[in-house]
Structure 1
Amino acid sequence: MNDEIKIVCCCGAGICTSNYLREEIEDRLKAEGFKKVRVVISKVNDLEESVVGADLLATTVELQRDYGIPQVRALGIMLDDDAAKEALDNIVKILKNRDTNK
């Protein structure tokens, strides 16, 4: 876990929901021991630029395009504790696998 990890949180407007996702993801990754994590927020219309150099895309909306990085549908974080745990577990798993594949 030496290199900085960049995660993009995306929702329709890139304001409230993506900020909430960012906070939840940052808290969980800190608890998991990830040190160099940068979580940025984006609206759907700005994704093309936002995902440059990103390691993971967490989104609350269904995207019609593949951006070439792992993508997690993170709407569950907004719904209930079980769905939030499942989405956050998936994010952690992807990032841990990223580190072992380097």
Structure 2
Amino acid sequence: MSKKVKILCCCGAGICTSNYLREEIEDRLKEEGLSKDVSVTLCRVTDVEETLASGNMDLLVTTVEMNGDYSVPMIRALGVMLDDAAAKKALDEIMDNVKKIMKE
């Protein structure tokens, strides 16, 4: 059985951009038949460290520049907001990480 994956999406305010990112990730998860195996949570940049400290997240996806050393892999997915090619590249990277985490 594969591991359930928990993704933390963050942006500056934890509202608009991260919500759009979550919707894009969830759409892609549905396309790949993984939506039941992955949950996506939103937060503000200022809450990332505290949220990750809970130990319940597997992957951090962000639209903003972050320079911290985090306990989980981090993907900067600003490309989702730019154009189709950049969005595809960012979502491909997210899906590759999700599949890798599921196998752990």
On whether the aligned pair clears a TM of 0.5, the verdict is yes
| 3-state SS in 1 of match to 2:2 | coil
Gaps in structure 2 of 5+ consecutive residues: none
- The residue identity in structure 2 corresponding to 1:11 is C
2:19 counterpart residue number: 19
Q: What is the alpha-carbon distance in structure 1 between the residues aligned to residue 44 and residue 73 of structure 2?
A: 18
Identity %: 59
Bigger mean CA deviation after superposition, 60-69 or 71-80: 60-69
2:61 counterpart residue number: 58
CA offsets 1:54-90 (integer angstroms, 9 cap, x no match): 1111101111202121111010000000000000000
- The residue identity in structure 1 corresponding to 2:3 is D
1:2 aligns with 2:2: yes
So what's the TM-score if we normalise by structure 2?
0.89
CA offsets 1:31-54 (integer angstroms, 9 cap, x no match): 111122110111111111222311
Gaps in structure 1 of 5+ consecutive residues: none
Q: What is the alpha-carbon distance in structure 1 between the residues aligned to residue 90 and residue 70 of structure 2?
A: 19
- 1:73 paired residue among 52, 70, 76: 76
| 3-state SS in 2 of match to 1:8 | strand
Figure out how many residues of one structure are paired with residues of the other and give that number.
Answer: 101
| 3-state SS in 1 of match to 2:42 | strand
2:43 counterpart residue number: 42
So what's the TM-score if we normalise by structure 1?
0.91
| 3-state SS in 2 of match to 1:53 | coil
RMSD: 1.3
